[in-house]
Amino acid sequence: MLSSLSLKAPAKINLYLEITANRADGYHDLVMVLQSIDLSDRLDIHTIGSDQIFIHCNHPEVPTDETNLAYKAAKLLQDLYPDFGGVEITITKNIPIGAGLAGGSSNAAAVLVGIDRLWNLGLTQGDLRELSAQLGSDVPFCISGGTVLAVGRGELLSPLPTLENLALVICKPRKLGISTGWAYQTFRSQGLLATKSQPSHSSQMLAAISSRDESSHRQIARLLYNDLERVVLPAYSEIAKIKQDLEAQECLGVLMSGSGSTVFAIAQNLESAQRIAAAIARDDLDIWVTSSSSHGIQDLESESA
């Protein structure tokens, strides 16, 4: 029986996010293309004798109580399987918070995957996806990651051909996080569904991802789209400014990820991404140069009792 394991929990970006309907449950129907990226948190999970759940995190603004999504993931499994005791979870954060990069969702996905292994529960991918959808709309995607079409609330997933080597500049205003709930509710209260800013072009995006020819990264970059920009950019001029600054560089395309506050650029290659990152560097911005990843939650190491 395993006593501890360590997992890598990657961030994601949205290459496409279109809101297609207001739902009666307060959520929104979406068409999204989600992409895992090579920027991840590390989770170390240990079984403990008592039935408590402890969370530790190196980031001072991450709550370590029952409001943390990783805690909720552990509690969900503990309530279903009460005979296995508790867990101690240490989260080493690299993914910024309030960033639209699904850091919290990815941590929760790692806790489900990790506890399933530690307690030898034998959950299938389908079981994990069903449990994860109870925790948040992005958590099911985070389990298997890669390049995925997500519809419904974001929990109905269809894998797409893996996007290799998409060079990215990820850019976040250091002190600004955006509430996802606020962004969606503002979109609804402003009636933006009725006033489409662009005709839907998700099918063109899916065709570009599937095309795999030389120009596919260029086409994908041209088709980037996020409906939530329509509420977030007018309300937060600093995010609009980052987008403008990136667009003035040699980028193939620029988009806000999820509900923000991160804005990312697709670059021609990693050297170009490094040049873009250097050109827009400022004290109040966190910037990463990274690339697309085909991985969801991955094992780092494990230890038996």
Catalytic residues: 12, 138
State the nearest-atom distance from the C-beta of 137 to ligand C5P, in Å.
3
Burial class of 302 by CB neighbour count within 10 A (0 to 12, 13 to 18, 19+): middle
Chain residues 227-286 in contact with ligand C5P, contact rule CB under 6 A: none
Which runs of consecutive H residues, i.e. helices, occur in the chain? 69-80, 103-118, 125-133, 139-144, 180-189, 202-211, 216-222, 229-235, 237-247, 270-280
- Judge whether 162 and 294 are in contact, CB under 8 Å: yes
Please tell me the total number of residues recorded for the chain in this structure: 305
State the nearest-atom distance from the C-beta of 296 to ligand C5P, in Å.
17
The answer to whether 12 contacts ligand C5P (rule: CB under 6 A) is no
Q: How many CB atoms lie within 10 A of CB 215?
A: 10
State the nearest-atom distance from the C-beta of 154 to ligand C5P, in Å.
5
- Judge whether 167 and 267 are in contact, CB under 8 Å: yes
Residues in the interface with ligand C5P (CB under 6 A) total 12
Q: Nearest 5°: CA angle at 28, between 107 and 8?
A: 15
CA distance 40 to 7: 10
User: 70 or 246, CB closer to ligand C5P?
Assistant: 70
C-alpha distances (whole Å) from 153 to each of 3, 25, 117, 184 are 35, 10, 28, 12
Chain residues 140-169 in contact with ligand C5P, contact rule CB under 6 A: 153-154
Interacting stretch for ligand C5P, rule CB under 6 A, among 8-16, 48-56, 135-143, 297-305?
135-143
Residue from 159, 161, 181, 234 touching ligand C5P (CB under 6 A): that is 181
Interacting stretch for ligand C5P, rule CB under 6 A, among 49-57, 116-124, 136-144, 230-238?
136-144
Interacting stretch for ligand C5P, rule CB under 6 A, among 23-31, 55-63, 161-169, 228-236?
23-31
State the nearest-atom distance from the C-beta of 259 to ligand C5P, in Å.
7
State the nearest-atom distance from the C-beta of 141 to ligand C5P, in Å.
11
CA distance 175 to 242: 14
Residue from 106, 147, 180, 249 touching ligand C5P (CB under 6 A): that is 180
Which runs of consecutive H residues, i.e. helices, occur in 30-144? 69-80, 103-118, 125-133, 139-144
Residue from 100, 103, 136, 260 touching ligand C5P (CB under 6 A): that is 136
Residues at the interface with ligand C5P (CB under 6 A): 27-28, 30, 136-138, 153-154, 180-181, 184-185
